[in-house]
Amino acid sequence: MTAKLQNFAMGQWTPGSGPETEILDAVTGELICLAHPGGMDFEGMMQYARSKGNKALRKMTFQERGRMLKALALYLTERKEDFYKLSYRTGATRADSWVDIEGGIGNLFAYASLRRQFPDKPYYVEDEPVGLSKGGTFIGHHLLVPKEGVAVHINAYNFPVWGMLEKIAVNLLAGMPAIVKPATITAFLTEAVVREIINSGLLPEGALQLVTGTGEGILDHVTYQDVVTFTGSAKTGRMLKSHPRLIEEAVPFTMEADSLNSAVLGEDAVPGTPEFDLFIKEIRKEITSKAGQKCTAIRRALVPEKLVEDVQIALGRELAKTTIGNPLAEGVRMGSLVGREQLQKLKDQVAQLARQTPIIYGDLDKVELVGADAQKGAFISPIVMLNQDPFRYTDTHEVEAFGPVATIIPYKTLDEAIELTKMGKGSLVSSIATADAAIAQEFAIGAATHHGRILVLNNDCARESTGHGSPMPMLIHGGPGRAGGGEEMGGVRGVKHFMQRVAIQGSPTMITAITGVYQQGAKQIEKDVHPFRKHFEELEISETWVTHKHTVTEADIANFANVSGDHFYAHVDATSLEGTLFTGRVVHGYYILSKAAGMFVDPKKGPVLLNYGLESCRFTKPVYPGMTIGVKLTVKEKIGQEKRSEEDIAKGIVKWLVDVYDETGETVAIATIMTMVKKLNQDS
């Protein structure tokens, strides 16, 4: 019996219902499984995610969620070969699948590591506090807490694994569950990955559900605590974005849609330069990898007028080397599209484009294949077109032919090239191949308004460059206008899309209690035991050590000048002070800080392992010989660390507020320093 594509809803695998659709192997045309469009209780799924998944995830700290992602990434890596086997059936080569499968798992790893930029708490304290009063008794801060709903991700067919993992990595780290709706045609691969994720038992119940049917009605029950993301065609995106429920409930909707990405050959990058070769290689790669079914693929190659022929010849030569066919056959570099329906759509789009911009490489009806039959699989040859009049023939900038298709466009000046990139009305990415920093700067700033990402490609970075087509987990992925106006990933930025930001106001003591970070002016808790005698767990936020005092002398200045070699005039030459801010020889700022350390450090061997550095430091008032300074050392923040191995010492980083004040009580220097402190419990 033919397998049925399954949904994972409310803890159960279920095939859905309604008329069946055949899902075919993109290469051989063989039946893989049957999909059923409907029968899903979306309201029930949303409630289940909110009541189970959300409740569990929001209680976990960022560190716990991050470790969960890492464990999941390791678990899926062990099973990746099973995914590759299925991925071939989408028409993808091993290299294409690497981007989808290992790129997706890589995203899990990247977001797992990102936990280090978050506290060991379920919520996040953002940026610095804001002073709201003269006396310092009223301040503000920003907090982010996980939203109480579900992330609904509706994905395109081209990246069945990465498309899901790049999104859930982010919402899971933020503390929100997800319902994933992949495109039906390649959902069999997404289903296989979800099956493994569920089998792993690593995610809390309700953290992930899967819809493999059409998803019609999936937005009928979303609320303002949910987040919807969409990747796909602009047409579907616009239709979903105007769903009344999204408008009524003010539901955040992130869209990644069509994008007419461009690559520009700098005027300096003439044949014979490494940048010319890099440009050709990048265009070839973007046309052939994933058979051009990439949202970031280069659709428009902008070339200085006089170099059009050179580019045409060089690109043709490169493309001719590409072996097309069954991804499992030896030597094949380009596979097929995901299905014959997509193939027909692509042919129609190219035929439309070709009315204005003739095909100069490739043939819509002829393709030489290795190990495959063009009548059965969704194969097409790479197609290159030429647009001789790009300001008049505007289809090039409007029609996204989602396959191995690109158009060469001549330009006269860099201004014109920038203008042409903007005619895409907003794109995910643009590249420029140039070794000229002035060209790179002018292009990047000029084109920035219309792009989500700009890559400057030259010989210096080529070897390590991740390329035009690869969105990076720590950089934003998205683009304005036609590209959807959305923003995904981007490291910490992406996590915040799934959290509610709230401004909190109150006294420093209250804000300290809420944020778990000592705020200047908050009540300090003086203790009898020196904090350097205490282990990580024993230290309390706001705990303060008040030191003895020291009266600064001229000898201190002279000695410090000799030790440090800093003979700056204001410290050593009393005759040079006219017209300066100083009334006498001023003490070195770094002396104040060093002396402060000498005063607050407890020198005996103890739980403090090392000085980890300085996060911030300000000298707020000049100190002159004869003034007396003292220090208040306050525990500001504690960040636990994970053991790297069994033998590692269990420890954490402690941030200390160092307040150096003078005999009037006024602060003369304020710094945040960090120490590494041993934990009492060496098993944690």
Residues lying near ligand NAP in the complex (CB under 6 A): 154-158, 181-184, 214-216, 218, 231-233, 236, 256-259, 295, 400, 402, 428, 483-484
- Contact of 73 with 196, CB cutoff 8 Å: no
| Residue 663 is a catalytic residue | no
- Nearest distance in Å: CB 20, ligand NAP: 13
- Nearest distance in Å: CB 90, ligand NAP: 12
Indicate the residue among 24 and 183 with the shorter CB distance to ligand NAP: 183
Contacts of 655 (CB under 8 A, 6+ apart): 615, 635, 636, 637, 638, 639, 672, 673, 674
Q: What share of the chain is helix, strand, coil (3-state, %, to 5)?
A: 35, 25, 40
Is the C-alpha dihedral spanning 110, 495, 153, 209 positive or negative? positive
- Nearest distance in Å: CB 171, ligand NAP: 17
CA atoms of 272 and 282, how far apart (whole Å)? 16
Radius of gyration of the chain (CA): 30
Buried b (16+ CB within 10 A) or exposed e, 69-80: bbebbebbeebb
Lookup: tokens for 561: 């000048």
Residue of this chain nearest to ligand NAP (CB atom): 232
Indicate the residue among 238 and 549 with the shorter CB distance to ligand NAP: 238
- Nearest distance in Å: CB 101, ligand NAP: 16
| Residue 33 is a catalytic residue | no
- Nearest distance in Å: CB 427, ligand NAP: 9
Phi, psi of 528 (to 5 degrees): -85, -30
Indicate the residue among 221 and 655 with the shorter CB distance to ligand NAP: 221
Q: 488: part of which helix (H) or strand (E)?
A: strand 488-489
| Of 190, 166, 180, 210, residue with least CA distance to 87 | 190
- Contact of 185 with 155, CB cutoff 8 Å: no
Q: Is 290 left (phi over 0), alpha (psi -120 to 50) or beta?
A: left
Indicate the residue among 231 and 458 with the shorter CB distance to ligand NAP: 231
| Of 419, 408, 423, 208, residue with least CA distance to 301 | 408
CA 414 to chain centre: 30
User: What are 103's strand-pairing partners?
Assistant: none
102, 295, 400, 488: the active-site residue: 295
- Nearest distance in Å: CB 279, ligand NAP: 23
CA atoms of 499 and 18, how far apart (whole Å)? 37
Read off the amino acid at residue 23.
I
| Of 329, 324, 330, 299, residue with least CA distance to 379 | 324
Indicate the residue among 216 and 368 with the shorter CB distance to ligand NAP: 216
Indicate the residue among 42 and 656 with the shorter CB distance to ligand NAP: 42
- Nearest distance in Å: CB 162, ligand NAP: 10
Indicate the residue among 218 and 414 with the shorter CB distance to ligand NAP: 218
- Nearest distance in Å: CB 345, ligand NAP: 8
102, 166, 191, 256: the active-site residue: 256
Read off the amino acid at residue 468.
H
Task: Using DSSP, state whether 381 is helix, strand or coil.
Answer: coil
Other beta carbons within 10 Å of 456: 19
Q: How far is CA 311 from CA 288, 359, 396, 409, 528, in A?
A: 17, 15, 18, 11, 76
Indicate the residue among 63 and 231 with the shorter CB distance to ligand NAP: 231
CA atoms of 227 and 202, how far apart (whole Å)? 23
CA atoms of 507 and 521, how far apart (whole Å)? 8
Indicate the residue among 469 and 630 with the shorter CB distance to ligand NAP: 469
| Of 197, 142, 171, residue with least CA distance to 58 | 171
- Nearest distance in Å: CB 342, ligand NAP: 7
Q: 676: part of which helix (H) or strand (E)?
A: strand 667-678
Please list the active-site residues: 256, 295
